[in-house]
Amino acid sequence: MAASLTLGLALPGRAADDDAAHYVQFVQEPAGDCVARDGMQILVKNTHPTRKLRVWLDRWQAGHGTGDRSRTDLPAGSEPEALGCSRNSAGPQEWRLVRAQFVE
């Protein structure tokens, strides 16, 4: 069973339908390598029913930014994209949404 972390970033004065970040969702699933380190596989997905998203993510390790920034396009209705394990040999890691926009 996948755990879900919904990330909703609302910008003042903007409707939720216009805010691409509203449709970015982080999901956790068990994966062999990750579970062996007491972690979960972290994935990111687009929850918008029809629009493609472009997202920029920063990776954090043990509470510190690593300087790693990734950009990916997430089509509507696609499977979540794997980012990595919530824990590795150096400790816990996470990804944070920097920016999201709709792609036409």
Q: What whole-number distance in Å separates Cα of residue 11 and Cα of residue 93?
A: 26
CATH code linked to domain 3-103: 2.60.40
Q: What is the pTM of this model?
A: 0.80
- Tell me the average pLDDT across 5-33: 72
Q: Which residues pair with 60 in a beta bridge?
A: 65, 94
Q: What is the pLDDT of residue 98?
A: 98
- Tell me the average pLDDT across 78-99: 95
Q: What is the pLDDT of residue 17?
A: 53
The answer on pLDDT for 5 being more than 70 is no
The answer on pLDDT for 89 being more than 90 is no
